[in-house]
Structure 1
Amino acid sequence: MHNTSSPRIALAQLRPVVGEPDANLATVEAALAEHAEVDLVVWPELFLPGYTTARIETLADSLDGERVSRLCSAARDHDTALVIGIAERRDDGAIANSALAIDRDGRIAGCYRKIQLFGDEAQAFAPGDTLEIVELAGVRVGLMICFDIEFPEIGRALAVGGAELLVSVSANMRPFGPDHRLCVQARALENRRPHVYVNQVGQGETFLFTGDSCHADTAGRVRAACPPHAESLILVDVPLGVETEKRPDYLALRRPVPPVHGGRA
């Protein structure tokens, strides 16, 4: 299809096997083969290793490793871009909670390292220190991971930086499902950018993940959603155009934020 004005995106709300990256890789390869008509497939946070902070050292992948090479080959073979959560072994040996982006020609477009680590993640992962906008299927995509979306300045920086689409991969658990639905819609509305959010589902090693993956349009309205607490893969066409006749274009209208008087240093 490869429609850059309204890309077709698969939200892969599927349950990984914790500690079995080869099995999860096979799931990715099978889904890409079955849905080769889409422009982009998005998978949850830490989908490749399964969500864990206890044994991540043994499950991490370097970007030049075999499993990442297989992901690149699958993207190229099916002419389909993908975003997937991995435990990335950095060049310095540290492990990052990362969103790997591979374009449809099999090229690594970028690898965003989660900045806002949550809970025990801070002991298992090194935080990222830069935001990432990548080009996938001809679309400039701003990447976020889970807790990142609860910090409005991250989505705003990506939108100001030129992202046409916000994509968030997540492993959000009870009782925070409603929080993330609100944040998905808010980040879309305040930035006038469509937002695709893909969350883990089912009982994990520690947490019960809530699912509820969805697409919110540039007015913050949820246009399509996976069910809570059930595996699902849905296809959505995501218009990138911003309707501004009835609604304000916040990015165009924003003024520099003035200093805060009387605040604490």
Structure 2
Amino acid sequence: MTRNTADMQVALAQQCPVVADPDTNLATVETTLAEQTEADLVVWPELFLPGYTIARVDTLAEALDGERVNRLRDVAAKYDTALVIGIAERCDNGHIANSALAIDRDGRIAGCYRKTQLFGDEADAFTPGETLEVVELAGVRIGLMICFDIEFPEISRALAAESAELLVSISANMRPFGPDHRLFAQARALENRRPHIYVNQVGQGEAFLFTGDSCYVDTAGRVRVTSSPHAEALALADVSLAVETETRPDYLALRRAVPPIHTDA
């Protein structure tokens, strides 16, 4: 049997931003959306708008009511296309978060998830988020993750259990961790029986060589669409949200509460 849910077309924008040049990167977003009007959703990597940098985030952070975010909202509405993009977010309390901004096809901000699992020196520049987020884009409930988040299975499980129909991860994953993230992307899809869109930066950044290898993984953990690990690419994925349960179990439907651990201590 299957759970009948509408499909959606997602464009995986595996592109290399210019570090510390958000206006150039915003122009790339506008050009890409103009060329991908058939997509329901376009996804860019982690920290795409400012470029991946730790040293300069204070001058590159965006307020959600700021000019560049308003331009993103306008272009989403202009082309009737939802988007997810990585930004450095200037929070109301003055802190800066490594965030995934989600804008629906009418230009409405659907949510802005702040990365909870900061990696390495990111903790010196960003404040970790305190909540997970499920947003609705193009009529689909989407659980958002950022890079290191996907290495913690409890995060995607919580999103799926909270009614996410699709997992979307944006990343700036570097050598030598490329194979790790391919495995994590597949595992998070299979164990939750949710399709997974993973979009990673590619090319030489300010300090790291990013590994690309963006992909769409179906609910059985099979890679259906993939991008090269070595070049910019824009891949289109026809995403099926249906969970086929004739061959593999629906782990979410069958799960029981985790029992307490017995120890002799």
Specify the TM-score bucket, using the shorter chain as the normaliser.
over 0.9
> How far off its partner does 1:170 sit?
0.2
In structure 2, the partner of 1:69 is 70
The residue number in structure 2 matching 1:57 is 58
- Counting only pairs closer than 5 Å after superposition, residues 202-221 of structure 1 correspond to structure 2 as 202-221=203-222
Cα deviation, 1:54-85, whole Å, max 9, x if unaligned, reads 11000000000000000000000000000000
> What displacement does 1:6 show?
1.2
Aligned equivalent of 1:119: 120
Q: Deviations over 1:198-244 (max 9, x none)?
A: 00000000000000000000000000001002100011100000000
Using the aligned pairs only, state the percent identity: 76
Corresponding residue of 1:147: 148
For 2:100, the aligned partner's letter is A
In structure 2, the gaps of 5 or more residues are none
CA distance in structure 1 between the partners assigned to 2:6 and 2:22 by the alignment: 34
How many angstroms does 1:262 deviate by? 2.0
Residue equivalent to 2:7? 6
**Amino acid aligned to 2:14:** Q
**Cross-structure match for 1:28:** 29
Alignment of 1:127-166 (within 5 A): 127-166=128-167
Aligned to 1:181: 182
With over 3 angstroms needed to count, the CA separation of the structure-2 counterparts of 1:263 and 1:240, relative to structure 1, is: farther
Structure 2 length normalisation: TM-score?
0.97
The Cα of 1:263 is off from its aligned counterpart by 8.4
Q: Distance in 2 between matches of 1:227 and 1:93?
A: 38
Q: CA deviation at 1:5?
A: 1.3
Aligned partner of 1:91 in structure 2 is: 92
Residue by residue over 1:4-41, the C-alpha shift from the partner in whole angstroms, topping out at 9 and shown as x without a partner, is 71100000001000000000000000000111111000
Task: Write the distance in 2 (CA, Å) between the matches of 1:5 and 1:181.
Answer: 26
CA–CA separation in structure 2 for the residues paired with 1:125 and 1:202: 23
In the alignment, the residues of structure 2 paired with residue 201 and residue 158 of structure 1 have an alpha-carbon distance, to the nearest angstrom, of: 27
SS in 1 for 2:197: strand
In the alignment, the residues of structure 2 paired with residue 36 and residue 66 of structure 1 have an alpha-carbon distance, to the nearest angstrom, of: 23
Distance, in Å, in 2 between the alignment partners of 1:6 and 1:224 is 15
TM-score, normalised with respect to structure 1: 0.97
Q: C-alpha distance in 1, partners of 2:61/2:30? A: 19
In 2, distance between residues paired with 1:6 and 1:140? 12
Change (3 A) 1:49 1:262: same
- 1:119 counterpart SS class: coil
Match of 2:250 in 1: 249
What SS is found at the alignment partner of 1:172? coil
Cα deviation code 1:150-190 (max 9, x no counterpart): 00000000000000000000000000001000000000000
- CA distance in structure 1 between the aligned counterparts of 2:71 and 2:263, rounded to whole angstroms: 55
The ranges of structure 1 where at least 4 consecutive aligned residues each deviate by more than 3 angstroms after the TM superposition are none
Question: Alignment partner of 1:186: what SS?
Answer: helix
Question: In the aligned structure 1, how far is the partner of 2:27 from the partner of 2:96?
Answer: 23
Counterpart code for 1:74 = V
| Aligned residue pairs, count | 261
Equivalent in the alignment of 1:260: 261
Q: How many Å separate the matches in 2 of 1:87 and 1:72?
A: 16
Mapped partners of 1:44, 1:157: distance in 2: 22
1:236-263, Cα deviation, whole Å (9 max, x unpaired): 1000000001110000111110111228
Structure 1 unaligned blocks of 5 or more? none
